[in-house]
């Protein structure tokens, strides 16, 4: 499951790693492999292609690439 946070300085896309018994979510930043996996299995519309590139760019920047 993916979530998007909009408040700076932690704005961005995250993957839910764990949901604890008390409902707390453990998140990790979305990485480039996550983005590629999400968009790789089907043809994309123009807006989906742009979205995938934006998310991939953000993930690569977080990874220092």
**Where does the pLDDT of residue 53 fall: very low under 50, low under 70, confident under 90, or very high at 90 and above?**
very high
Task: Name the H helices within the chain.
Answer: 32-39, 46-62
56 and 36 Cβ atoms separated by less than 8 Å: yes
Phi, psi of 59 (to 5 degrees): -65, -45
Per-residue pLDDT tens for 1-35? Answer: 889 999 999 998 999 999 999 999 999 999 999 99
Peptide bond into 9 cis (omega under 30): yes
Residue extents of the structural domains in the chain: 2-62
Quote the pTM value. 0.74
Q: Which pair of tokens denotes residue 25? A: 């979510």
**Where does the pLDDT of residue 52 fall: very low under 50, low under 70, confident under 90, or very high at 90 and above?**
very high
Q: Is 13 helix (H, G, I), strand (E, B) or coil?
A: strand
């Amino acid at each position: 499951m993916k979530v998007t946070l909009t408040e700076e300085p932690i704005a961005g896309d995250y993957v839910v790693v764990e949901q604890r018994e008390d409902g707390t979510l453990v998140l990790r930043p979305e990485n480039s492999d996550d983005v590629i996996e999400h968009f790789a299995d089907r043809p994309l519309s123009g807006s989906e292609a742009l979205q995938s590139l934006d998310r991939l760019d953000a993930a690569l920047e977080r990874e220092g690439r």
